[in-house]
Chains A and B, each alone.
Chain A
Amino acid sequence: MKVEQVNPIYSASKEVFRNMFGWELKRGELKMVEDIVSKNAANVTIGVTGDIKGVFLFSFPENMALDIVREMSGMEFNEIDKFVASAMGELANIISGNAMNEYFQNKYNCDIVPPQISVGENKTFSSASDEVLKINLKTSDYSFDLYISVNENKQ
């Protein structure tokens, strides 16, 4: 997996969290994994098509998802209901959409498909490549995982 295939989604995540919540994301552990098994409860899969093909999986712990939606709405939530799940799906959708612009600048013409949201811990997700990069991202209070499973699909 090339650096230019990883950096756009990482930098878009940092920018969106900074703009929307004033949270600075710091990179934690970075490792290659064989399978996508998310230990967190709020999982959003975004499919990527075009010159890069594959999936991004955003894996947020429940307390982080609830806090993000509380921060935006000013309302309290006790569980990841349809409202919270959809709000988190849109967050991942926005980050991935912004990343597409940077991929384009790196000469990759690609697009995303609407988010798929899955609620529940320890779920396994299909990867789209032999290599899956797992990036742990930290805020001052929370930690979540971004899985990148993409292949170059240029003719």
Chain B
Amino acid sequence: MIWKDQYRIGVKEIDEQHEELFNRLNTFLKIVKNDQPLEEKMDKIEETFAFMEEYVDVHFTAEEAIQKKVGYPGYEAHHKIHEKFEKDILDFKKEFEQDKYNEDLIMAFSGRVLTWLINHVTGEDQNIAKYIPEGGVKDES
């Protein structure tokens, strides 16, 4: 998975987090797609999935805080999109825990997440940039 400068929205914190999210998903995809038998790479799949899942939560929380701070009018709709994605991850996790060696399930989830993330960053997230004041978001703490 390749991070591209054109994916930036111009907010340092969000751009750095998006790049990190790409890196973590990339690590997961590389493990999923390598030629090793599933049994041999299962520990790595679980570890990198958890690593990615954790960061999705960190990033969504931070991004939504910025949206609120700048009064982004699309906040509610954006929050619902995040919630739906988190539910998709949770649903996969439940299925995966019941059927760990189902390679089709892992492949299908990985392909779906790849497309979802690129669309989200190049589509919905770009709308936030228009509401960021010149000079960036001030830290009030």
Known: A73-B114, A74-B2, A87-B114. A20 touches B107 (CB 8 A): no
Known: A74-B2, A75-B29, A83-B33. A20 touches B119 (CB 8 A): yes
Interface residue? A54 (CB, 8 A): no
Q: Name B29's contact: one of A73, A86, A91, A94 (CB within 8 Å).
A: A73
Interface residue? A82 (CB, 8 A): yes
Known: A73-B29, A74-B2, A86-B107. A16 touches B115 (CB 8 A): no
Which residue of chain A lies nearest to B108 when distances are taken between CB atoms in the complex? A86
A-B pair count, CB < 8 Å, reads 67
A87 adjacent to B2 (CB under 8 Å): no
Interface residue? B65 (CB, 8 A): no
Known: A16-B123, A20-B119. A74 touches B107 (CB 8 A): no
Q: What is the bound-complex CA distance between A127 and B67, given in angstroms?
A: 43
Known: A22-B6, A83-B107. A89 touches B119 (CB 8 A): no
Which residue of chain B lies nearest to A81 when distances are taken between CB atoms in the complex? B107
Task: Type the 1/0 row for B118-141, where 1 means its CB is closer than 8 Å to any CB of A.
Answer: 110011001000000000000000
Q: What is the bound-complex CA distance between A81 and B30, given in angstroms?
A: 15
B115 adjacent to A90 (CB under 8 Å): yes
A91 adjacent to B108 (CB under 8 Å): no
Interface size for A (C-beta < 8 A) is 21
Interface residue? A135 (CB, 8 A): no
Interface residue? A72 (CB, 8 A): yes
Q: For A85, list chain B residues within 8 Å (CB).
A: 108, 111
Q: For A16, list chain B residues within 8 Å (CB).
A: 119, 123
B104 adjacent to A91 (CB under 8 Å): no
**Max count, chain A CB within 10 A of own CB: residue among B103, B109, B122:** B122
Task: Type the 1/0 row for B96-108, where 1 means its CB is closer than 8 Å to any CB of A.
Answer: 0000000110011
Q: What's the dominant secondary structure at chain A's contact region?
A: helix
CB distance from A128 to the nearest CB of B (A): 25
A72 adjacent to B116 (CB under 8 Å): no
Known: A90-B115, A90-B116. A20 touches B122 (CB 8 A): yes
A87 adjacent to B111 (CB under 8 Å): yes
**Max count, chain B CB within 10 A of own CB: residue among A82, A83, A94:** A83
A20 adjacent to B104 (CB under 8 Å): no
CB distance from A15 to the nearest CB of B (A): 8
15 A–B contacts from the bound complex (CB under 8 Å): A20-B118, A22-B6, A74-B1, A74-B26, A75-B30, A81-B107, A83-B108, A85-B108, A87-B111, A88-B111, A88-B115, A89-B111, A89-B112, A94-B115, A94-B119
Give A residues with C-beta under 8 Å from B.
16, 19-20, 22, 69, 72-75, 81-91, 94
